[in-house]
Structure 1
Amino acid sequence: MDPFSQLILTISVTSFFSFQWLFHKVSPWISLRISPGFISLTDKQKVEWNSTVSTFHALLVGLFCLYILFFDDAVNEDPVGDPTLVKTNVAITTGYLISLLLIFYYWKAIGDKFFVVHHLAALYAYYYVLGQGMLPYFANFRLLAEFSTPCVNQWFFEVLGYPKSSRPNMANGVAMAVVFFMVRIAVIPVYYSRMYAVYGTEAFYLVPWGGRVAWIGSSICLDIMNVMWMHKIARGCYKVLRSARKNKVDTLQENGKSD
């Protein structure tokens, strides 16, 4: 194994154990000190709460992804080209995704079949990036989606007693819908237009059949789920905003009657 491959393997393994440590040790320790409500959560809620270490992963790989998109000319000019920096970023994500296999141990608390399919599809595609150095631009572009994770993780406003109509919950709901749309839906035309530009070229045929299936198949699978999730998020956001508006109108009417 060449030294760079050894480094990538080391990064993946380190990422796996780091996220296990964050989940089992760091998150409970910090949560007890910054949020008194954490101690009163059920075991199921604590598992869900601690799984929000994904926010750290999202910010880490998301910022790395932006750096590559803006400054790695080799990847941007040749989407099947030099994968050096992308491999490093994907290795971090691979360790994190494998770490999430603990979802099977805590299935009753955080199990979700679409979540599992989503991550297995990503791992299948990342195998070709890490194992064969293929399609780095597209793998890195996919990591933009991680920027939606921090807002998705703020569900614990409700756990701590904030009603759905509270300002923190509403602000997070709107932010989640906007960011999710921007990094998972609005970028779809850009992603597939770049894919179409590569399709049929010499670079395309350098990718073996299995790699093309991983690239195109996993992309379609992920985007179908992203559209489904966007629909649910948009509906939830609309319901919360409509409910808040109704409550505000009712309050104004009651105040008017009392006057």
Structure 2
Amino acid sequence: MDPFSQLILAISTASFFTFQWLFHSVSPWMSPRITAGFLRLTPKQKIEWNSRTVSTFHALVVGLFCLYILLFDDAVNQDPVWGDPTMVKINVAVTAGYLVSDLLLIFYYWKAIGDKLFVIHHLAALYAYYYVLGQGMLPYFANFRLIAEFSTPCVNQRWFFEVLGYPKSSKPNMANGVMMAVVFFLVRIAVMPLYYSRMYSVYGTDAFNRVPLGGRSAWICSSICLDVMNLMWMHKIARGCYKVLRSSRQGKSGTQENGKTE
């Protein structure tokens, strides 16, 4: 194993243990100092709270690194199939460590945070990222998928508000709900045409033909699988956001100028 591959393995391992530490130690210590509501949660809710806290931290770190690569890594942008994958590998290694850590927590705490869709999502992503880390192929597309992480903090914040008892019609909850729907759409749905048009542009080229069949399958199948789930989640988010905004408008229309309801 060459020195850089050893470094990538070390980063993935360090990422795994870091996220385990954040889940078991940092979040339980930090959360009650941020909000006293954490202490009133049930044991299952505390497990999910800690899991979502770790998820938010991962999303911000990896998402910002992903955006930097998309904006400034010319080698990857110019050659999306075989461009220099150094920075992408580092970012993907962090994500791989997180995904393995989260899968372990999901299985161990299945009654609290078990979710079949998340298991499928994590396994599909790990299968695709194996080819990036192992053979350095498709760095642009691997990194592009990570831009979706920018929607995670808003999704988690919605759950935090819910378990803390914030009414759905409260201003913080509504503001976060609208932001969640907008950001989710922008980074997971609106970018699909750009992603698949770039995929189509390299299809059949010499660079594409050098990708082994397993790599092509991982790339195309995992992309479709992840985007089908993104569409399902977008549908649920849009419906939830619409219901909250509609009930809020109805509540306002039922209020007279003197503040009394009809």
TM-score scaled by structure 1? 0.97
- Mapped pair 1:245 → 2:249: yes
Match of 2:209 in 1: 205
Corresponding letter in the other structure for 1:32: P
Residue identity in the other structure for 1:64: F
Other-structure match for 1:65: 66
Q: 2:153 aligns with which of 133, 150, 165?
A: 150
Q: How does 1:146-185 map to 2 (within 5 A)?
A: 146-154=149-157, 155-185=159-189
1:95 equivalent in alignment to 2:121: no
Q: Residue deviations 1:55-93, cap 9 Å, x none?
A: 111111111111111111000000122111100000000
Unaligned runs of 5+ in 2: none
Aligned residue type for 2:143:
N
Deviation, structure 1 residue 251 = 2.8
Aligned-pair CA distance for 1:253: 7.2
Equivalenced residues, count? 258
SS at match of 1:251: coil
Of 139, 144, 167 in structure 1, the residue corresponding to residue 142 of structure 2 is 139
> What secondary structure is seen at the aligned counterpart in 1 of 2:165?
coil
Structure 1 stretch displaced more, 242-251 or 1-10: 242-251
RMSD of aligned alpha carbons: 1.3
Q: Percent identity?
A: 80
- Say if 2:218 is the partner of 1:217: no
- Which of 109, 112, 115 does residue 112 from structure 1 map onto? 115
- Partner deviation per Cα, 1:86-112 (whole Å, 9 max, x = no partner): 000000000000001110111111111
Instruction: Determine the C-alpha separation between the residues in 1 that align with 2:261 and 2:161.
Output: 33
**Where do 5+ consecutive residues of structure 1 fail to align?**
none
Residue range with higher mean Cα deviation, 245-254 or 100-109: 245-254
Q: Aligned in 2, Cα 1:255/1:193: closer, same or farther, shift over 3 Å?
A: same
Instruction: Please give the secondary structure, in 2, of the residue aligned with 1:252.
Output: coil
* TM-score for the superposition, normalised by structure 2: 0.96
Structure 1 runs, 4 residues or longer, greater than 3 Å off: 253-258
Shift of residue 256, structure 1, vs aligned partner: 5.6
- Structure 1 window deviating more from structure 2 (174-183 vs 44-53): it is 44-53
Q: Distance in 2 between matches of 1:24 and 1:256?
A: 49
Q: Tell me how far apart the structure 2 counterparts of residues 255 and 10 of structure 1 sit (CA, whole Å).
A: 62
